Structure 1
Amino acid sequence: MYSKEQASKLKQAFWTTFGQYMVSVPSADGLKINWVNYKTNFKYIFFKMDADKRMASIAIEITHPDVDIQALLFEQFYELRNILHHHLEEEWQWHLHTRNDYDKIISRISTEIHDVSVFKQDDWPKLISFFKSRMIALDEFWSTAKYSFEDLK
């Protein structure tokens, strides 16, 4: 078992390693990008990656405080789901109005893998592979899809 400080350092080391691994990968628009802290440039739309001692997940999170607007944003993603799934080459789970770890109502489109641990360096290649392909695919999708959200900004 790790102390909070040790766990924090290991997680930080993983994300630093992932960022270094991805630094030479340009965005779909050919720009330099911070893959770990991906910016959608929409206030309430985030691409989130997470890893802990049992699993890893990647998600599109919609966090607008007005649940009706949040639903509109979610519906817009749903209208684009075939394009999204085409880029991802897999289908993800869709959850309208779920609660996050802070008990805040969000909507989430996500996938995850189990039986991996960010605390085991032997699992890092599997985690990096999981995140890399999906973040690149999300970026390719977002490069064109973001324009569909302009009226909802």
Structure 2
Amino acid sequence: MYTREEASQLRQKFWTTFGQYMAPVLSAEGWRVNWINYNTRLKHVYFRMQADKKEASIAIEITHQDPELQELFFEQFLALKTLLHDTLGETWNWELHGTDELGKTVSRIYTELKPVNVFNKEDWPQLISFFKPRIIALDAFWNDAQYSFEALR
């Protein structure tokens, strides 16, 4: 087992490695982008990648504090479900009003990879191969879909 400090350093090293791997990849608009902290430019909507000792996930997270407004964002994504799944080339899971690790209500559209362990460097190629095409596809989707959310800004 790792100490908390060692685990933090190893996790940080993975994300740094992934960021360096993704650095040459331009966005759908041809811009440099911080893939790890992708900016949707829409408050309360985030693209999140997570990895721990059991699994990895990539998600669109809607974090608005008002459950009704959170549901409006979710419904807008539902209207774009076919475009999203076509762009991703796969079907993702849809969860309205779930709970995050801090107990806050969030809605998520996500997919997972199990079993993988971010603390096992032998799993890093699999993790990178999981995250890379999906975050690029999310960017391509968002390049077209973001305008559908103008009324919710």
- Same fold by TM-score greater than 0.5: yes
* Number of residue pairs matched by the alignment: 153
Deviation at 1:115, TM superposition (A): 1.2
Residue 46 of structure 1: aligned partner = 46
Residue 130 of structure 2: aligned partner = 130
User: Normalized against structure 2, the TM-score is what?
Assistant: 0.99
Inter-partner Cα distance in structure 2 for 1:44 and 1:2: 34
Residue 109 of structure 2: aligned partner = 109
Residue 68 of structure 1: aligned partner = 68
User: Normalized against structure 1, the TM-score is what?
Assistant: 0.99
- Aligned residue for 2:47, secondary structure, equals strand
Deviations 1:100-137 (A, max 9, x none): 00100110000001111100111000000100000000
Structure 1: gaps (5+ residues): none
Inter-partner Cα distance in structure 2 for 1:44 and 1:16: 25
Inter-partner Cα distance in structure 2 for 1:127 and 1:83: 25
Inter-partner Cα distance in structure 2 for 1:87 and 1:11: 29
Deviations 1:70-104 (A, max 9, x none): 00000000000000000110000000001100100
- Aligned residue for 1:58, secondary structure, equals strand
**CA RMSD, aligned part only?**
0.4
Inter-partner Cα distance in structure 2 for 1:82 and 1:108: 16
- Aligned residue for 1:19, secondary structure, equals helix
Inter-partner Cα distance in structure 2 for 1:124 and 1:150: 37
Structure 2: gaps (5+ residues): none
Deviations 1:14-42 (A, max 9, x none): 00000000000000000000001000001
Inter-partner Cα distance in structure 1 for 2:55 and 2:107: 20
- Aligned residue for 1:119, secondary structure, equals coil
Structure 1: which 4+ aligned runs deviate by more than 2 Å?
none
